[in-house]
C-alpha cells in the first residue's frame, strides 16, 4: 500500500506560473467525491475550513471543562510542544525543530492566529512532499516469503465509526461519541485496555482531535506523562493531505519492531470531525504462538452516526451560543466570527455570523458559550449581535 503527496512541489510550480508535467493525468477530472453535499447554510456562512470547525469544537470542550480562555489556549501549546521533540528526532519530519509551548501559541507576525484559538504553528501543514508505504501479507504468505518473525507487525483490532455530517448537527459539540465507540471496539478486538497500550499516534491535525481522543480514551492530559505521537504530528512531522495515516502506521511499525511484544494504537479523523478510525498493532499475533493469526476482514463498522440535531437555514430571533470561532486574515486581524447557536425550545441549531469589531473582541477575550445573542436573517446569512 503506497501513498504520496507532492503539494509543496505543486504550490511552488503554481507560484512560478508553471504546471507539473506529471503523467497519468485524468482526462476527465470530476469533482471531489464528497459522501455528502455541502449544507446550504454552511455554504452561506462559509463553514468550509477544517481549522474553523475543529477550533469551534475545541471551544465547546473548553466551555464544558470550565477553563479560562487564555489558560486553555496555553494548554494547546503544552499539548503540542512535546510533539515537536518527536518531530525533531524523526528523519522524515517536514519541520524537525523543537519549539516551546510559548513558541507555538504566542501570536506574532510569523505565527498569526488562523482560526481562534489556533495559531499557524498549531494547525496541520499540508503542503509537503512526502510518501510512505507498507507491505501487507497474510501469515502464510509471510512464511512463504521468509519474512523474519521480528519484522512482522500484526493488526490486532480496528474499528470505524461516524458522527453527524455537519458541524451544527452534533448533539454534543464538546466530544465525539463515535470516536469513543471506535476506540472501544478496536481495543476490545485486541483484548487490551488503554493502560496496556505502550505507543500512541493520535491524529493531530488540530488540538481538538487530540483532546477528543484523549477524552475518549480516558487519558488525563494534565497529569499523564506519555507521548501522543510516534511521528511528531501533522503540524510538525507534516500533514500530507489524505496520506498521513500511511506515515503513522509505518512509523508505528518501526517503533513496535524495536519494542517486541508492545502494543501501539493509531487513530484517524476524517472530514470535520465526522469519521473516526482506530487500529491496534502488536508484534505478536492474537492466537497462540506458532499458529496462524486470524486475518481481520477490515475495520469493523462499530456504529452509525448518532441522531443529528435539526439545522435551520434561516432564523431571526433570540438564540444561545453553543460554540464559535473567529477567522483571522493573513495580516492577523479578526475578519469575522462563526457562531453555532441553540434555538429556543429545542427547535434545533443554526449558524450565525459576527462582523461587529467589539463583538469579535469579546469572543476572544471572554467565554461566550452560553451567551444570549440576537439573530437576524439577511441575504442567506444569519447575522448575530449581542443580545
Give the predicted TM-score (pTM) of the model.
Answer: 0.93
Q: Which domain holds residue 227?
A: 1-14+47-308
Strands (E), 60-203: 113-115, 118-119, 129-133, 154-162, 199-201
C-alpha cell at 221: 492530559
Q: What integer pLDDT is reported at residue 58 of this predicted model? A: 99
Average pLDDT of 23-27? 74
Residues 203, 113 within the same domain: yes
Q: What integer pLDDT is reported at residue 108 of this predicted model? A: 97
DSSP code per residue over 188-210: HHHT--GGG--EEE---SSHHHH
Residues 324, 288 within the same domain: no
pLDDT surpassing 90 at residue 245: yes
In a domain, residue 189? The reply is yes
Residues 118, 261 within the same domain: yes
Average pLDDT of 179-201? 97
In a domain, residue 21? The reply is no
The enclosing domain of 241 has a CATH number of: 3.40.47.10
C-alpha cell at 137: 501479507
Residues 347, 300 within the same domain: no
Q: What integer pLDDT is reported at residue 295 of this predicted model? A: 44
- Torsional sign, CA 186, 191, 197, 198: negative
Cα–Cα distance measured from residue 384 to residue 8, given in angstroms and rounded to the nearest whole number: 38
Choosing from 286, 308, 330, the residue where a domain stops is 308
Cα–Cα distance measured from residue 45 to residue 353, given in angstroms and rounded to the nearest whole number: 7
β-pairing, 334-342 vs 349-354, is antiparallel
In a domain, residue 81? The reply is yes
Cα–Cα distance measured from residue 119 to residue 221, given in angstroms and rounded to the nearest whole number: 20
Closest by Cα among 380, 369, 306, 374 to 55: 369
Q: What value does the mean pLDDT of the chain take? A: 93
pLDDT surpassing 80 at residue 259: yes
38-42, 135-139, 197-201: range with highest mean pLDDT: 197-201
43-76: per-residue pLDDT in tens? 999 999 999 999 999 999 999 999 999 999 999 9
Query: Into how many domains does the chain fold?
Result: 2
Choosing from 308, 327, 353, the residue where a domain stops is 308
β-pairing, 300-303 vs 154-162, is parallel
Residues 364, 221 within the same domain: no
Residues 337, 285 within the same domain: no
In a domain, residue 41? The reply is no
Residues 128, 167 within the same domain: yes
> Residue 296: which pLDDT band, with cuts at 50, 70 and 90?
very low
Q: What integer pLDDT is reported at residue 304 of this predicted model? A: 56
Residues 228, 349 within the same domain: no
In a domain, residue 223? The reply is yes
Which letter does DSSP use for residue 311 in this model? B
302-361: per-residue pLDDT in tens? 665 668 999 999 999 999 999 999 999 999 999 999 999 999 999 999 999 999 999 999
pLDDT surpassing 50 at residue 294: no
Residue 181, SS3 per DSSP? helix
C-alpha cell at 207: 488540538
In a domain, residue 217? The reply is yes
For residue 97, how far is the Cα from the chain centroid? 22
Residues 277, 205 within the same domain: yes
Cα–Cα distance measured from residue 210 to residue 61, given in angstroms and rounded to the nearest whole number: 12
pLDDT surpassing 90 at residue 261: yes
> Residue 301: which pLDDT band, with cuts at 50, 70 and 90?
low
Q: Which residues pair with 208 in a beta bridge?
A: none
Cα–Cα distance measured from residue 383 to residue 362, given in angstroms and rounded to the nearest whole number: 16
> Residue 293: which pLDDT band, with cuts at 50, 70 and 90?
very low
**Contact of 169 with 177, CB cutoff 8 Å:** no
In a domain, residue 40? The reply is no
Alpha carbon of 29 to those of 24, 25, 33, 203: distances in Å?
11, 8, 11, 30
Choosing from 308, 340, 358, the residue where a domain stops is 308
Q: What integer pLDDT is reported at residue 286 of this predicted model? A: 85
Residues 158, 183 within the same domain: yes
Residues 202, 86 within the same domain: yes
Residues 266, 126 within the same domain: yes
Residue with cell 455554504: 43
In a domain, residue 24? The reply is no
Q: What integer pLDDT is reported at residue 20 of this predicted model? A: 82
Cα–Cα distance measured from residue 166 to residue 148, given in angstroms and rounded to the nearest whole number: 47
The enclosing domain of 358 has a CATH number of: 2.40.50.840
Residue 373, SS3 per DSSP? strand
Closest by Cα among 384, 264, 363 to 62: 363
pLDDT surpassing 90 at residue 106: yes
Amino acid at each position: 500500500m503506497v501513498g504520496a503527496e507532492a503539494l509543496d512541489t505543486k504550490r511552488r510550480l503554481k507560484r512560478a506560473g508553471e504546471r507539473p508535467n506529471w503523467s497519468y493525468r485524468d482526462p476527465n477530472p470530476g469533482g471531489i467525491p464528497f459522501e455528502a453535499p455541502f449544507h446550504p447554510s454552511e455554504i452561506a456562512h462559509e463553514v468550509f475550513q477544517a481549522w474553523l470547525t475543529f477550533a469551534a469544537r475545541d471551544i465547546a470542550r473548553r466551555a464544558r471543562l470550565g477553563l479560562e480562555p487564555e489558560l486553555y489556549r496555553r494548554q494547546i501549546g503544552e499539548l503540542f510542544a512535546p510533539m515537536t521533540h518527536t518531530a525533531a528526532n524523526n528523519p522524515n519530519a517536514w519541520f524537525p525543530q523543537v519549539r516551546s509551548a510559548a513558541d507555538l501559541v504566542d501570536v506574532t507576525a510569523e505565527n498569526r492566529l488562523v482560526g481562534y484559538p489556533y495559531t499557524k504553528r498549531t494547525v496541520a501543514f499540508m503542503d509537503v512532499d512526502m510518501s510512505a508505504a507498507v507491505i501487507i501479507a497474510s501469515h502464510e504468505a509471510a512464511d512463504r516469503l521468509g519474512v523474519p518473525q521480528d519484522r512482522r507487525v500484526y493488526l490486532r483490532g480496528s474499528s470505524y465509526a461516524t458522527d453527524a455530517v455537519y458541524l451544527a448537527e452534533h448533539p454534543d459539540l464538546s466530544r465525539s461519541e463515535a470516536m469513543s465507540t471506535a476506540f472501544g471496539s478496536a481495543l476490545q478486538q485486541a483484548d487490551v485496555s488503554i493502560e496496556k497500550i505502550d505507543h500512541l499516534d493520535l491524529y493531530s491535525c488540530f488540538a481538538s482531535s487530540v483532546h477528543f481522543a484523549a477524552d475518549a480514551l480516558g487519558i488525563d492530559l494534565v497529569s499523564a506523562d506519555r507521548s501522543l505521537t510516534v511521528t511528531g504530528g501533522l503540524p510538525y512531522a507534516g500533514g500530507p493531505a489524505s496520506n498521513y495515516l500511511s506515515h503513522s502506521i509505518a512509523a508505528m511499525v518501526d517503533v513496535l519492531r524495536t519494542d517486541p511484544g508492545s502494543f501501539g494504537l493509531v487513530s484517524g479523523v476524517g472530514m470535520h470531525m465526522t469519521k473516526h478510525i482506530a487500529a491496534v498493532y502488536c508484534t505478536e499475533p492474537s492466537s497462540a504462538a506458532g499458529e496462524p493469526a486470524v486475518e481481520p476482514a477490515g475495520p469493523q463498522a462499530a456504529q452509525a452516526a448518532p441522531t443529528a440535531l435539526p439545522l435551520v437555514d434561516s432564523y431571526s430571533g433570540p438564540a444561545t451560543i453553543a460554540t464559535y470561532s473567529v477567522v483571522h486574515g493573513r495580516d492577523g486581524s479578526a475578519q469575522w466570527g462563526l457562531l453555532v447557536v441553540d434555538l429556543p425550545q429545542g427547535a434545533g441549531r443554526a449558524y450565525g455570523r459576527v462582523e461587529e469589531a467589539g463583538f469579535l473582541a469579546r469572543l476572544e477575550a471572554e467565554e461566550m458559550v452560553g451567551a444570549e445573542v440576537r439573530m437576524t436573517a439577511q441575504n442567506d446569512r444569519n447575522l448575530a449581535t449581542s443580545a
